[in-house]
Amino acid sequence: MTRRVLLGLVVVAGLLTAALLPAPAAVTDPVFPEPEPGEAVAGTGASVWYCATGDSDDVRDSEMYIATVPAVRVGITWPSPFGADDADVARQALDAAGAGTIAVSDFLRRGPVPSLIEFDAGPAAAAVSSVIAGEQGLEEISGDGCRAAVSKEWHIAGGTTRDGATLVLRLFNPFPDIAKVALSGASEFGSQPFGDPIDVDGRSFRDVDLSVEARFLDDLSITMTVTEGQVVPALILDEGADRAVWSATGLSRTWDFPFVGTGDLVGSVVVYNPGPGAVTLEIDGLGPDGVESAATTFGLDPLRPLRVLAADISDIATGLRVRSTGPVTAALVVEGLVPADPEAVPVEGEEIELVRDGRLGAVSGVPFPSARWLLPGAGARPSTIHVANTEATPATVTLVALGSSLDPEKVLVPAGSTAAIPVPGSGGGYLVESDLPVSVAWSVESGNAFALFEAVAIDE
Amino acid sequence: MSPLPEASPAPVAVAILARGSTVSPDTIEAIRAQVYEPASIHVVGLAAGVDGLPAIDHFNDLVAAVPADVAYLWVVASGAHPRPDALSALVREAERTGAGVAGSKLLDAHEPDRLVSVGVATDVFGVPYTGLDPDDVDQGQYDVVRDVAVCDGRSLLIRRDLAVGLGGVDPALSLQPSAFDLCQRARLRGARVIVVPSAEVLVEAEPEPSWRHEAGRIRAMAKIYGPVTLAWVLPMRLLAGLVEAVIAPFVGRWTLFDYLRAWVWNVWHLPGTLRSRSAARANRMFDDAELFRYQIRGSAALLTVGRDVATRVRTRIPQDVATGGIEELKRPVVVLGSVVAILTVIASRAAWTATMPVVGHSLPLPPSGSDVLAVYGGGWDPSGLGSPDQIHPSLAVLGLAQRILFDSPAIALAVVVGGVALVGVWGVARLFGRLGVEPAAGVLAGLVYVAGPAARALGESTHLVVIVAAGILPWALAAVLGAVPASWAGKIAKVAVVAWLTGVAAALFPALLPVPLLAALVWWVVGRGKPSNVVVAFIGTAAALGALVPWLTRADLGGWLSSGTIPWWEPSPLVLVAAAVALVGVLLVGDDRTSPLAGWAAVTLVAGIVLARGEGIGLSGVAALAGLVVAGLGLAAAVASAVQVSGDTDHVEGPVRSAALVALGGATILVLSTVFVIAPGRLGLPEDRSEPIDLAAVSQVDPSATRILVLGSAEAIPGDERNFEGASYRVIPTSGPTMLDAALAEPRAGDQALEAVMQQLVDSEGRRIGAALAEFGIAWVVAIDDSPFLPFLSGQLDLIPLQGLPRPTFQVEPEALVARSADGRAWFADGADFVGLADAESRVALAVNADSRWDPGPWRQVAWANEVSAIDGVARFEPVSARRTQAWLALAWFVVLPIIGWAGRRYG
């Protein structure tokens, strides 16, 4: 009997133990941080940059701009529409603090030449331009920075299919698998449908002529939803003379524009709210007097792009910051406007009739400031680096010419202001370092040609 | 009785064949009592005459010596007792039918109405098949003179001229094979061979067939059949004998050694056989088709074994029941046993139908068992990126089984996994039979053991080898808990059997090694066991360690013990309540037989549950798996005791009966819970998940030349997995993972390099991860289920997503080969080796973890991998000799222990 009791106690104790044993902690899959979709950020490791634009034909030539902080080996691949085996590849090595310019025509001429550029170390970045050289300098230049990350949803503002404008959306799929992209858009009339999703073959591109798909719209902003695969989109605006090329972005609540035009280069900021709710925009002016906070305030309905002349926001602003209560995208379109009669004398109370002189440039906004920037291509020919300091204290900015023997140049950018720093054509890129986070872009102007380029923030 | 012939027109000489050194006087007397008076009677095989009868050395001498006027020779074996009219019937029917050979109906000398033989059919291998049940009663149901394949050699009448023409009997053969040989040769010459049922002969039980019988049959086949028949019949006999050797031990017969000896004997006597063959086939009138007319289809040996198995089941259980005295259990036991066996087969039907799910650690067997054994004996472990580390002994057991079963993975898996379910039921019934439980209760407990809640959890863990080990374990426990013999030889045999069974179970899953000892201890503590059982268990367990070398001496036991995780066991509350009700009911009203069993069940069940749920307190997956097996034993014991106590109290009224019925209710719930394992038919294993990784069909190169990187959850990945910051992955061969790939060895340089590539992937460093993976021979990347790696794959420039596959699958664009010659040619995996084009000037890069024992040299380490010469066309790993020696010792252990056990039981 005693044995039975003891046994019973052992069993009961065991049962209690079994009942009270804690369940092991549930195992959950880790979530590895993915790169910010769609942003052009130069990391410290190897990277691949996708350049959707670029043309190499009997008229235009493309220049690939590469810039790096450490010594790198670079591989440039131009996928062929005829299959992966026929891709053209160029390889190059750059020393530390190096930069280079590669003329695509040295390798191939087949019209549109989207490409991908692989660096085996970083920070490094790439940009691409298309140029038409004339006897009096450049007749045309357009270009933009490349993208180091892709997104399933892209947005791009600032397009127009007004009379005389050709607007092409280039969808570059650098990956092996087919991509399916659903387009939706918005114009001054509201939502703009675009039919069935578009297939983009792997390692290929597809140009969508929006001038045909959505004719005679003053403002056309696009949202691209990638349902399969991945693409890198860019807009190409051609008004008969110069071209503007700018890349799609993600959404942000702030957008900085270190440059909004000068003189007869008139800039318009276009803000696009893909929805779903209305947002309120506050646009700060950056100028010699510091920040003009909320210089202009707008309510922005979804799917109603807002285009506003920079000069209408502030007469003296040389840069802008767009702040929004919701995620939006924003771009700057710059046109050259000159008096119709060059010899006309301004008369008070009368407006001088302005006409486009053909210069055209566009760039997406800078979503966040950074203390270090890479500017591939800046200085490949005489350029201007635009720095916006949105902080409350002056920023000391150092410009380091990459691939050049030029000494670094220090510039003090006042608080809430911008600086336009001309740089000579001596290298192939710049490294901009600041003691405070700043926003940077750069531009090229030569003859009748004008282009705006994004700078690439360096991921710290 | 047949009427006497009017005359004796055909003189007959009788040959009484001596058996051993004597001739039975009863046989002589019966011959002399024949109403058909023989012309002469001779004693064959003795040097001197007996009882006034002349002796002659051999039957063939008699054939030559008898006068020409003798028409027939009647061969009667000593011990046979012909009825007085037997000879007259034989002669009369032989004359009437014109038969050359006539045989008698044989009846049991002790039970004259029991049939022993009425003519003999054989299979094509010459194995006799009477078609009679052991207890077939002679009711005249076979009393018709008819042609048969063979006459029993104990009473056989042959025409003298035919015997002369045939050259007598084959002196190298024993009685029955000789009769077979004689009848077959007679039929080839055109003679009829008949059986005469009216010629009744009483016979003693024939000694068990020996190797001489088997050898004689093989020789007879070799002599008689034409070349075409021989081309298939000899190999088939070889295989059939092997199958019989595998199955026969389960019915208590060992045929392996007879089988081997018979074939060796025939090889030795091959020249004589060939000479005899020429004579046998000369002047034949028919071809082999005439012989086939009187033969049964298939293998009589296997039919006999099958019949023996059925007989054993049929006879054994009622015999056990008969001692129990419980009518309710007696009556349904045969039906119940059959139903449980059928349910068990249904529960394991995936094994029988070669549709075992490929999931987790349940993987197909490798193409060759020999390769597995070579790997176990100090060879190269090809799993993952390879390792020279010692592999698990379960693979050696499976490899050995596969090697025996024709090296067929499908047959081996069917026999091992499907068979072990039946063996498990049988073992549990045997175990609890030894603990005093009636067989009906035992088989129900067996069903709960192999298909109950614990078995279901075990199946869900996908650890197939543990399931197999669990099937063996009850036999070890039965051996441990059974009575210890009094004699020393018996004790030694007992220890050997315990050691062997424990060793086999432990080799499959080493964590089960202490279970028999602990079971004996608990059985002792609950009051039924004896110290001698514990001592036997202790010594047997210690001896069982021999089964585990070289794994035991080489593996990281600490690492193994702390390795792995399995799903945390959360048994249904209904199951727990049912078990508790059953046990409490038995403890309340059980007697000295059932109460200790319930106590044993309670302790076992609780211990199993604690182990199976102990992950939260640091117990490993190994402990949890062992816990599930132990809990399964506890549940089975609960069912056995509850069913038993309900039978014990059948004639009792009142609270005792009520308590017993409540206990029976609990047991019933546990039995019903087996439906969740029986219905799917996979022994509790989850559904197959191999489809996403079945890429062999789409591979452009031989799948043995490449690998797949599998991403997903630990449960979904086949076998073990590597872990990268909580995310699981591993590599498997494109040809498909096998049991050899289930366990991954400790990470080595290559594994670290691959981990660095995974780091590169999640860091988004570069977009050409395919090029990095190709260095490992990885040609495919498959996300078998959700994986945190997946978002990083679609952004790679050299991973081509494949459409139309069940899970995200990417093809690595750069050419990936595990083994590649310097000129870029692919080499292919062959077991653990690699084969390709021999080239004395070339080198082969092997994308397996670097080890200097790869041959042929000169060996060179390239990063984490190897480079060897291509001179032989084969790159192989030089086995570790010490481990190979230990593996041989383990095999010797495996063979010797059962021999000791058998010898001890036979001679002790």
DSSP collapsed to 3 states, B255-275:
CHHHHHHHHHHHHHCHHHHHH
Percentage of residues in chain B with pLDDT exceeding 90? Answer: 45
Q: Is A233 buried (19+), middle (13-18) or exposed (0-12) by CB count in 10 A?
A: buried
Question: Band of the pLDDT at B17, cuts 50, 70, 90?
Answer: confident
Q: What gap in Å lies between CA B358 and CA B344, rounded to an integer?
A: 20
Q: Which of B797, B798, B800 to mutate to test the interface with A (most CBs of A within 10 A)?
A: B797
Q: Is the pLDDT of residue B758 over 50?
A: yes
Q: Is the pLDDT of residue B757 over 90?
A: yes
Q: What gap in Å lies between CA A153 and CA B793, rounded to an integer?
A: 18
Identity of residue A222: I
Does the beta-carbon distance from B603 to A11 stay under 8 Å? yes
Of A272, A380, A252, nearest in space to A327 by CA: A252
pLDDT one-digit tens code per residue, B112-132: 888 888 888 787 777 777 667
Of B303, B337, B342, nearest in space to B317 by CA: B337
pLDDT at B140: 74
pLDDT at B319: 45
Nearest CB to A21; choose among B525, B527, B610: B610
Q: What gap in Å lies between CA B150 and CA B145, rounded to an integer?
A: 13
Half-sphere CA count of B49, side-chain side, radius 13 A: 6
The DSSP code sequence of B400-469 is: HHHHHTTT-HHHHHIIIIIHHHHHHHHHHHHHHHHTT--HHHHHHHHHHHHHSHHHHHHHHTT-HHHHHH
Nearest CB to A118; choose among B603, B766, B788: B766
Could you tell me how many CB contacts below 8 A there are between chain A and chain B? 112
Q: What gap in Å lies between CA B197 and CA B140, rounded to an integer?
A: 9
Q: Which of B604, B606, B813 to mutate to test the interface with A (most CBs of A within 10 A)?
A: B606
Nearest CB to A176; choose among B568, B792, B813: B813
Q: What is the mean pLDDT of residues B731-736?
A: 94
pLDDT at B312: 55
Q: What is the mean pLDDT of residues A283-287?
A: 92
pLDDT at B320: 44
- Measure in Å the smallest separation between the Cα of A353 and chain B Cα atoms: 50
| Contact assessment for residue B846 and residue B818, using Cβ atoms and an 8 Å cutoff | yes
Where would I find the beta strands (DSSP E) of A69-193?
Answer: 72-80, 83-94, 98-103, 111-112, 115-119, 124-134, 137-145, 153-159, 166-173, 179-187, 190-193
| Contact assessment for residue A155 and residue A329, using Cβ atoms and an 8 Å cutoff | yes
pLDDT at B307: 63
Q: What gap in Å lies between CA B392 and CA B413, rounded to an integer?
A: 18
Question: Band of the pLDDT at A449, cuts 50, 70, 90?
Answer: confident
Question: Band of the pLDDT at B535, cuts 50, 70, 90?
Answer: very high
Does the beta-carbon distance from A11 to B606 stay under 8 Å? yes
Q: What is the mean pLDDT of residues B381-396?
A: 94
Q: Is the pLDDT of residue B682 over 60?
A: yes
Q: Are strands B12-17 and B40-44 parallel, antiparallel or unpaired?
A: parallel
- Residues counted in chain B: 908
Identity of residue B79: G
Does the beta-carbon distance from A118 to B767 stay under 8 Å? yes
Does the beta-carbon distance from A177 to B787 stay under 8 Å? no
Coil vs helix vs strand at B78: coil
pLDDT one-digit tens code per residue, A400-440: 999 888 899 999 999 999 999 999 988 889 999 999 999 99
Alpha-carbon dihedral angle through residues B74, B75, B81, B87, given to the nearest 10 degrees = -10
> What is the token pair recorded at A60?
């235009």
Q: What is the mean pLDDT of residues B499-514?
A: 95
> What is the token pair recorded at B860?
């060179």
A177 contacts in B (CB within 8 Å)?
A: 794, 800-801
Of B576, B574, B602, nearest in space to B588 by CA: B602
User: Rounded to whole angstroms, what are the CA distances from B662 to B172, B579, B642, B674?
Assistant: 68, 11, 9, 19
The DSSP code sequence of B780-823 is: EEEE-S--TTHHHHTT-TTEEEETTSSS-EEEESS---SEEETT
User: Rounded to whole angstroms, what are the CA distances from B793 to A227, A371, B182, B781?
Assistant: 16, 31, 76, 9
Q: What gap in Å lies between CA B96 and CA B67, rounded to an integer?
A: 23
Look up tokens 């920023």; give the residue.
A395
Does the beta-carbon distance from B799 to A176 stay under 8 Å? yes
Mean residue pLDDT of chain B comes to: 86
Does the beta-carbon distance from A15 to B613 stay under 8 Å? no
Q: What gap in Å lies between CA A441 and CA B640, rounded to an integer?
A: 83
Coil vs helix vs strand at A427: coil
Q: Is the pLDDT of residue B638 over 90?
A: yes
pLDDT at A255: 96
A49 contacts in B (CB within 8 Å)?
A: none
B606 contacts in A (CB within 8 Å)?
A: 10-11, 14-15, 18
Q: What is the mean pLDDT of residues A183-193?
A: 91
Half-sphere CA count of B749, side-chain side, radius 13 A: 12
Q: Is the pLDDT of residue B605 over 90?
A: yes
Q: Are strands B128-129 and B121-122 parallel, antiparallel or unpaired?
A: antiparallel
| Contact assessment for residue B476 and residue B699, using Cβ atoms and an 8 Å cutoff | no
- Measure in Å the smallest separation between the Cα of A240 and chain B Cα atoms: 36
Does the beta-carbon distance from B797 to A48 stay under 8 Å? yes
Helical H runs in A36-94? none
Q: What gap in Å lies between CA B785 and CA B773, rounded to an integer?
A: 20
User: Which sign does the torsion angle of CA B575, B576, B577, B579 carry?
Assistant: positive
User: Rounded to whole angstroms, what are the CA distances from B709 to B405, B717, B799, B815?
Assistant: 32, 10, 12, 15
- Measure in Å the smallest separation between the Cα of B576 and chain A Cα atoms: 10
pTM: 0.72
Q: Is the pLDDT of residue B907 over 80?
A: no
Q: What is the mean pLDDT of residues A334-358?
A: 83
Of A53, A218, A26, A143, nearest in space to A452 by CA: A143
- Measure in Å the smallest separation between the Cα of A178 and chain B Cα atoms: 9
Identity of residue B660: A
| Contact assessment for residue A65 and residue A120, using Cβ atoms and an 8 Å cutoff | no
Q: Is A73 buried (19+), middle (13-18) or exposed (0-12) by CB count in 10 A?
A: middle
- Measure in Å the smallest separation between the Cα of B760 and chain A Cα atoms: 9
Q: What is the mean pLDDT of residues B489-505?
A: 93
B800 contacts in A (CB within 8 Å)?
A: 176-177, 202
What is chain B's alpha carbon radius of gyration, rounded to the nearest angstrom? 33
pLDDT at B736: 92
User: Rounded to whole angstroms, what are the CA distances from A137 to A261, A264, B396, B408?
Assistant: 21, 19, 80, 80
Q: Decide if the complex's ipTM is over 0.85.
A: no
Q: Which of A116, A175, A459 to mutate to test the interface with B (most CBs of B within 10 A)?
A: A175
pLDDT one-digit tens code per residue, B296-338: 655 565 566 566 655 555 554 444 444 444 444 444 566 677 7
Nearest CB to A116; choose among B762, B786, B797: B797
B614 contacts in A (CB within 8 Å)?
A: 21
pLDDT one-digit tens code per residue, B226-270: 877 777 778 777 777 777 777 666 666 677 788 888 889 999 899
Q: What gap in Å lies between CA A144 and CA A126, rounded to an integer?
A: 9
The DSSP code sequence of B182-237 is: HHHHHHHTT--EEEEEEEEEEEPPPPPP-HHHHHHHHHHHHHHS-HHHHHHHHHHH
pLDDT at B759: 93
- Measure in Å the smallest separation between the Cα of A151 and chain B Cα atoms: 10
pLDDT at B3: 44
User: Which sign does the torsion angle of CA A362, A366, A371, A376 carry?
Assistant: negative
Q: Is the pLDDT of residue A64 over 90?
A: yes
Q: Is the pLDDT of residue B580 over 80?
A: yes
Q: What gap in Å lies between CA B156 and CA B54, rounded to an integer?
A: 20
CA nearest A176 in B: which residue? B800
- Measure in Å the smallest separation between the Cα of A131 and chain B Cα atoms: 28
Q: Which of A11, A117, A226 to mutate to test the interface with B (most CBs of B within 10 A)?
A: A11
Nearest CB to B616; choose among A22, A118, A149: A22
Q: What is the mean pLDDT of residues B382-407?
A: 92
- Measure in Å the smallest separation between the Cα of B454 and chain A Cα atoms: 15
Question: Band of the pLDDT at B176, cuts 50, 70, 90?
Answer: confident
Indicate the DSSP class of residue B120. B
Helix%, strand%, coil% for chain B, nearest 5: 50, 15, 35
Identity of residue B831: G
B602 contacts in A (CB within 8 Å)?
A: 7-8, 11
Does the beta-carbon distance from A7 to B526 stay under 8 Å? yes
Coil vs helix vs strand at B43: strand
CA nearest A174 in B: which residue? B797
Q: What gap in Å lies between CA B861 and CA B845, rounded to an integer?
A: 9
Give the number of other CB atoms < 10 A from CB of residue B167. 16
Does the beta-carbon distance from A27 to B766 stay under 8 Å? no
pLDDT one-digit tens code per residue, B615-627: 878 888 899 999 9
Does the beta-carbon distance from A3 to B766 stay under 8 Å? no
Q: How far is CA A155 from the centre of its chain?
A: 11
Which chain A residues touch B if contact means CB-CB below 8 Å?
Answer: 3-4, 7-8, 10-11, 14-15, 17-18, 21-24, 27-32, 34-35, 43, 45-48, 84, 116, 118, 120, 149-150, 174-177, 202, 229-230
**Span of B372-376, B448-452, B644-648, B716-720 with lowest mean pLDDT:** B644-648
Q: Is the pLDDT of residue B198 over 70?
A: yes
Q: What is the mean pLDDT of residues B672-690?
A: 92
Does the beta-carbon distance from A8 to B587 stay under 8 Å? yes
| Contact assessment for residue B192 and residue B83, using Cβ atoms and an 8 Å cutoff | no
- Measure in Å the smallest separation between the Cα of A17 and chain B Cα atoms: 7
Q: Are strands A111-112 and A47-51 parallel, antiparallel or unpaired?
A: unpaired
Look up tokens 């798996």; give the residue.
B625
User: Rounded to whole angstroms, what are the CA distances from A28 to A50, B162, B725, B793?
Assistant: 34, 86, 11, 20
